[in-house]
Amino acid sequence: MNIKINNNFLFYEGYKLKCAIGKSGIVDLKKEADLATPKGTFELGRLYYRKDRIKQIKCNIKKRIIKKNMGWCNDSRSKKYNKEINFPFKYGAEKLYRKNMIYDLFINIEYNSRPVIKKKGSAIFLHIANKKYEPTKGCIAISKKDFLIILPMIDKKTKILIN
């Protein structure tokens, strides 16, 4: 069963969940820093989580604990573009270990990953929404409560369909 994103709702296994998408909406041709969510069907990568904030986790996909030095490269000049990195890092990258709660739990959406194409966009995640469901920089965001409900149903065959 695939996760479907349509406007500001996520549909999965009979659930209809409120979600936030990129500030620029859903687009066919995504570019780095355009604040848009890419249209298409994508595989889901690994689950990342903050062990200090998420105690119990039930999931059927590979997972990784977020450490203080972890980031995601969003600088197309780097060979590590659109990949997990460790700080210190000489190129541009987003911190994964944050004060706010949005990355306490996230799944990497396998957008622009095989192969990685420079400037096509990076770090598209399914992550936790803020309280007001404000638009993202291109990711899909749902409440922590909803994330924890659907997470045990997601497996390595689950894809995300964004349209």
Closest residue by Cα to residue 45 from 138, 127, 137: 127
How far is the C-alpha of 128 from the C-alpha of 145, rounded, in Å?
9
Q: pLDDT tens digits for 46-102? A: 999 999 999 889 999 999 999 999 999 999 999 999 999 999 999 999 999 999 999
pLDDT confidence of residue 7 = 82
Q: pLDDT tens digits for 16-62? A: 999 999 999 999 999 999 999 999 999 999 999 999 999 889 999 99
CATH entry, 3-162, from 2.40.440, 3.40.630, 3.30.460, 1.10.287: 2.40.440
Whether this model's pTM surpasses 0.75 = yes
